[in-house]
Amino acid sequence: MSEYSVLTEDELRLLPSDEDVLRYEKTGWYLSQKLLSDAETEALTEASERFYAGHRDRELPVRPDRLADWSAADGEIQRNSDYIHYRDETIAKILRKPLVAAVAARLARTPEIRTFQATLIYKPAAPEETSNIVSWHFDKYFWPTCSSDNMLTAFIPFHDCTEEAGTITMVPGSHRWERRHGAERPAGDPADVAREYLLEGDAERNGATIERVPVHIPRGHMTFHHCLLYHGSGPNRSPRPRRAISFHLQDGSNAYRHYRDSDGRQQPYKHDVLVRRTPSGEPDYTDPEFCPTLWPAGG
């Protein structure tokens, strides 16, 4: 039985073509066809509002360092809420839709896709609020304990997402830059330098020019980008909040690795205090509670 037998004929037509996969490999990002129905995006919106009001289907057993976990006390800044795939079952069920993982598997040319992490994002309409600007970065910078360089992220807005709303902006081809500043400081370290500097510095080190492409994402569509691709987003200048999920995905080869920075410090990831342990005592990034297998469906 084909792994694609779980998809309907209509869903099969929504998978990336061979040309789409080649374009993804060249540019580092892909805009999907409509993978979620209007009913599903409406359910995401409603579930997110319940979450902000305090609903939890499950609480995290421990609170990791550097956990993004907005609360009303933080005020009207950009809201980031990690592990939404674990804490809210309505959202988790939609994220587990086999079609989404099948698209990721096609793009990454991998037989297996697992959840890595999912963050619920709410960017308020506040044109002058600099905290709403997500500066240039690539996701693998924050995942130094991951062995794979083939991971990817699905950015899933719940509505039409335009440049006015502060949509995701890609730097095509930057995932192929070989000389990088690396993940030498933990996220949130005040000693970290400006991401704009990191982008420009890495481009110069690779003799590359910088192209910035804001992606207009229609409702129900989503983007996928490579874990080494530079991306960011601007302020939300629309009259409505920008709602989305950043859904980080790992290919089947990914596993925990020891990583020490240039000062010899072990660099942890949030998972490392949550997931189960391997027989050798290391964090297990295949833990079905936090990193469930999404593709093949039912795997």
Q: Domain for residue 119, yes or no?
A: yes
Q: Domain for residue 67, yes or no?
A: no
Looking at the chain, how many residues does it have?
299
237-247 pLDDT, tens digit each? 999 999 999 99
Q: Domain for residue 160, yes or no?
A: yes
Confidence label for 261 from pLDDT (cuts 50, 70 and 90): low
Cβ neighbourhood burial of 105 (10 Å; 0-12, 13-18, 19+): buried
Q: Which domain holds residue 162?
A: 3-59+72-295
Q: How many structural domains is the chain composed of? A: 1
Query: Residue 167 sits in a domain of what CATH number?
Result: 2.60.120.620
Q: Domain for residue 143, yes or no?
A: yes
Query: Given this model, what pLDDT does residue 193 score?
Result: 43
The answer on pLDDT for 270 being more than 70 is: yes
Q: Domain for residue 239, yes or no?
A: yes
Q: Domain for residue 64, yes or no?
A: no
Query: Given this model, what pLDDT does residue 120 score?
Result: 98
Q: Domain for residue 180, yes or no?
A: yes
6, 98 in Cβ contact below 8 A? Answer: yes
Which of 54-68, 108-122, 170-184 is least confident? 170-184
Render the burial of 257-274: b for 16+ CB within 10 Å, e for the rest. eebeeeeeeebbbbbbeb
Higher pLDDT, 184 or 94: 94
108-156 pLDDT, tens digit each? 999 999 999 999 999 999 767 665 678 888 999 899 899 999 999 999 9
183, 202 in Cβ contact below 8 A? Answer: no
Higher pLDDT, 128 or 99: 99
Would you list the DSSP string of 112-181? -EEEEEEEEEEE-S-TT-GGG-EEEE-GGGG-TTB--S--EEEEEESS-B-TTTT-EEE-TTGGG-----
Q: Domain for residue 66, yes or no?
A: no
Query: Given this model, what pLDDT does residue 265 score?
Result: 57
295, 112 in Cβ contact below 8 A? Answer: yes
